[in-house]
Every structure is written in C-alpha cells, then in structure tokens.
Amino acid sequence: MTESPAPLPFIDLKAQYARLKPAIDARIAAVLEHGQYIMGPEVAELEAALATFAGGGHAVAVGSGTDALLIALMAEGIGRGDAVFVPTFTFPATAEVICLLGAVPVFVDVDPATCNLEPASLEAAVEAVANAGHLRPRAAIAVDLYGLPANYRAIAPIAERHGLFLLADGAQSFGGATGDGRVGSLAPATALSFFPAKPLGCYGDGGALLTDDAERAARWRSIRAHGKGNGKYDIVRIGVNGRLDTLQAAILMAKLAVLEAELDARECVAGAYDRALGQAVDRPARPANGRHAWAQYTIRTPIRDAVAARLRERGIPTAIYYPRPLHLQPAYAETCETPVPLDTSEALAHQVLSLPMHPYLEAGESARIGAEVLAALEAGA
C-alpha cells in the first residue's frame, strides 16, 4: 500500500514564529517588564503604525474584528428601525453586530467573479427598502472577501446618494490595495481583524478601526472604553469593553515589520497556483490596479466536495469560506430581510474551495498542491 504524504498545514503559524521569534519574544518581554497590560504604550505605537501603513488618518485598536464592526455601528447611532445592507456571503460577525444593536440586516448578493458585494444588488436593495417604508436605510458594509478589496469606486457613490454610512469590513484584506489607495483609506471607516489566521494576525483576538475623520475616531476610543469621556468615570455614552490588550499590540508590532515581505510571499504562492492550475478551474479574481492580500486562495468548481475529499486523502487540507449564506442560516430566518435575489451567493456556497495559503509555503509544496488539484479535476474526483 502506498503511504499517504505527511499532511501540510493550511496556515503555518509555527513557521512564521520560527522566523520572528527573537523580535516577538523581545516585544513580549518588554511588556512583561513594564507591566502595563491594558492600554500600555505598545497600543498607541501600533495605532500610529497601522495608520501610517494604511496611508494616514487615525487608527483605533480594539479587542477583536467583531468589536471593530460593533463599535463602528454604535458610533453612528445604528439601532432599532434601521436597515444595514450587507452581503449574505460572508462570516457571521458582519451581520450579527447589526442584530445586536436591534437593527435589521438586509442581505444583498455578491459579484460572481470577485465574491464581493455587487453594487447593482446593493442599489436595488436600498431602493426596495426605501420604497417599502418600514425601515430607515442607514448603513452598508462591504466585505473584502479572501483579501480582495471590494469595488469601493462603485459602492461609495451609491452609499452617498442614499445617505448611508459606508463601512469596509477589511478583516481579510489589510495590506491589499486598489488604484485609489490601500485598505483602510478606501471607505470612510474600515474594520480590521487580527485573528491569528489573518494576513496580519496576533496570538489571540484583536482588531482595529481606521478612518480619516478625527471626530469619528474619538467616538470609537470612547466606546471601546465603556463610553468614557475626559476621565475613567466620566461616562458620556453607552460603550463596551473593546480594548486591545498590550501583549497583542506588541506581537502585532513585530509582525507588522515584515508584513510587506509576507504579502510579497503570498503573491508568489498565488502566482504558483495560477501557473499550476492554468485554465482548468475558476481561479480567484485579482485587482486590476492594486494588490490582493491573499488571506485565502479560493477556487471554484462544481465538484468541490469531491475535490476536497481527494486532496484530504493526499494530505492536503482545504477550507470552505463559506458553506451557507447567512440568509439561509437559522439564526437569521426571523431577523433579516432579503428584498433582492441572492442566487450567486447560494451557488458559490456549493463551489468555493480554499487551498493552503501562507507566506511560508514552499514552491515545491504549492506545485504539488496544484498538481493534486489538477489530478482531482481530471479524474472528476
């Protein structure tokens, strides 16, 4: 019997730590030495570095990507009777924060080529809700799925025309860019996640918000610390405990120093997959004039499950982002509205398959993965 190859990691955080160990360990040791575990100096240092990386403006570090989304909507006064438009093909956090505030998620479809929010679907959904009259159109959240920035050049005018607050969910795309700038500068507000598997990830939960609006950033800082004003017990608004802890900020500073190099390495992995797969499968879309952050390399095939099973037998892990659109999830059955067709999202849920993607994937490994995908496709899995 032929022995199966040793399984590959889907994301190799151990390889990253091996490279960055001296810097990460020194950063952690510095925090342990000064002992300021909550809002220590590394938090402000990280905020300044994130803002600079994104192209200027203000950064506010928070406890998670979900906190970032929640705080951004709280700062705009989103609540009961409000409609927030969001793609149905996304992670639950994007929509759950809407429900937590008593607002209604209105699901829209995505573009079949990019898997990102489809501007025409957004426009149709906003008009349908406005005409129905029982909800106030208040905000739209565009998700940069897989690391590809959404089409903000088309989405922003729709939001402006209808008076919507536009929030970019850049949980998967920090480091990405379009011809108009880097993620963090493409929308009035951008939410980031530093979950360990993200292109920039910490060793726990973490997140941040980015904006060019100083007053908006001040509201975010207040809300993340229980709504405080000028002092700890001067409470000027309802807030949450949404602070990023100092140890995570320190780890992120060590990782941010090599993010550019890691983005280049991710691009090399994606290029290797492109060359290996050729035209045999629907490959990920790329920005026409910008940069993909490659949080995931996601192909599409009608025999997705069979391909995944064959790869698993060959020691190659895969992931499905996402197997069911949110409008079909039981939790949203009674809480959402679906005024437009969502056919593309429903189809993608049966087709998408993400291959191993990280900056430390060796050329031989990516070539083998590509060859195994081709073999599975040719065999009909």
Give the distance from CA 343 to its chain's centroid: 22
pLDDT tens for 322-337 read: 999 999 999 999 999 9
pLDDT tens for 292-332 read: 999 999 999 999 999 999 999 999 999 999 999 999 999 99
CA angle 313, 317, 323 (to 5 degrees): 110
CA angle 142, 68, 93 (to 5 degrees): 60
Q: How far apart are the first and last CA of the chain?
A: 20
- Is-contact 46 249, C-beta < 8 A? yes
| pTM for the predicted model, two decimal places | 0.96
Residue 340, Cβ density class (10 Å: 0-12 exposed, 13-18 middle, ≥19 buried): buried
**Residue 221, H or E segment:** helix 214-224
The residue-averaged pLDDT of 157-168 equals 98
The residue-averaged pLDDT of 230-259 equals 96
Gap between the Cα atoms of 337 and 332, Å rounded: 9
Q: What percent of the chain has pLDDT over 90?
A: 95
Gap between the Cα atoms of 308 and 104, Å rounded: 35
Gap between the Cα atoms of 148 and 112, Å rounded: 13
Residue 298, CB half-sphere, CA atoms under 13 Å: how many? Answer: 28
The residue-averaged pLDDT of 165-192 equals 97
Instruction: State the pLDDT confidence band at 381, using cuts at 50, 70 and 90.
Output: low
- Is-contact 110 116, C-beta < 8 A? yes
Any residues with CB less than 8 A from the CB of 16 and at least 6 apart, and which?
255, 262, 358, 359, 360
Closest CA to 142 of 111, 99, 101: 111
Residue 163, Cβ density class (10 Å: 0-12 exposed, 13-18 middle, ≥19 buried): exposed
- Is-contact 276 316, C-beta < 8 A? no
Instruction: State the pLDDT confidence band at 3, using cuts at 50, 70 and 90.
Output: low
Gap between the Cα atoms of 125 and 46, Å rounded: 38
CA angle 125, 130, 136 (to 5 degrees): 105
Mean of per-residue pLDDT scores for the chain = 96
- Is-contact 255 201, C-beta < 8 A? yes
Gap between the Cα atoms of 53 and 256, Å rounded: 9
Looking at residue 70, what is its pLDDT?
98
The single residue listed with the structure tokens 């659109």 is 325
Measured on CA atoms in the order 348, 353, 359, 364, is the torsion positive or negative?
negative
Looking at residue 1, what is its pLDDT?
45
pLDDT tens for 259-276 read: 999 999 999 999 999 999
Looking at residue 6, what is its pLDDT?
75
> Of the ranges 1-15, 36-50, 123-137, 356-370, which one carries the lowest mean pLDDT score?
1-15
For residue 352, CA distances in Å to 47, 122, 146 come to: 35, 22, 11
Residue 23, Cβ density class (10 Å: 0-12 exposed, 13-18 middle, ≥19 buried): middle
Is the model's pLDDT at 353 over the cut of 80?
yes
Instruction: State the pLDDT confidence band at 133, using cuts at 50, 70 and 90.
Output: very high
Looking at residue 288, what is its pLDDT?
83
* Angular region, 81: left φ>0, alpha ψ -120 to 50, beta rest: left
- Is-contact 244 62, C-beta < 8 A? yes
Instruction: State the pLDDT confidence band at 158, using cuts at 50, 70 and 90.
Output: very high
Domains of the chain and CATH, by start: 16-256 (3.40.640.10), 259-378 (3.90.1150.10)
